[in-house]
Amino acid sequence: MSFSLYRVVHQSHHAHLATERDEELWPFVKPAVSRRARILAAILELTVGLLYTPFLFVRAFLRAGSTIRKRDLRRRIWVEFLLAASPMDCHLRGDFMVGCVEAISFGCTWRQPGWPRTCRACASILNTSGSPARR
């Protein structure tokens, strides 16, 4: 998910709240959309929101007549998409998630290269004791 895309679409959402120009509330603000489509959208948003929400933002960017017209901004969003899809980003994201699962499951007992750092990062995010994560 592109941060620049999120920022632009979300600011537009606040500027045009509950009007037909509100991209985040699509299809609920479009009177021409059938009731079945709105119910389906609500079900999808409630059940697979982690996929549905990025879909809304990408739709707002790629659709014909998009409100995102600035050339520099569109270029930045494309670059952010490419960086998010890069193999290194996927590798780092995977390492972090594995580290989080390990931190939750095993309490960071493994001592493989790179894992302690990942566990510390995860522990600092998931820390519920109120004290900073130990090194």
Residue 96 near residue 121 (C-beta atoms within 8 A): yes
Q: Is the pLDDT of residue 106 over 80?
A: no
Q: Is the pLDDT of residue 110 over 50?
A: no
Comparing 130 with 99, the larger pLDDT belongs to 99
Q: What tens digit of pLDDT does each residue of 57-102 get?
A: 999 999 999 999 999 999 999 999 988 877 666 556 666 566 555 5
- 94 backbone dihedrals φ, ψ, rounded to 5°: -65, -45
Question: pLDDT value at position 11?
Answer: 95
Comparing 8 with 110, the larger pLDDT belongs to 8
Residue 107, number of CB atoms within 10 A of its CB: 10
Question: pLDDT value at position 86?
Answer: 74
pTM: 0.64
Binning pLDDT at 50, 70 and 90, where does residue 16 land? Answer: very high
User: How far apart are alpha carbons 43 and 130 in whole angstroms?
Assistant: 37
Question: pLDDT value at position 85?
Answer: 77
Per-domain residue ranges for the chain?
3-85, 88-126
Residue 123, number of CB atoms within 10 A of its CB: 20
User: How far apart are alpha carbons 17 and 11 in whole angstroms?
Assistant: 10
Q: Is the pLDDT of residue 132 over 70?
A: no
Question: pLDDT value at position 115?
Answer: 46
Question: pLDDT value at position 40?
Answer: 95
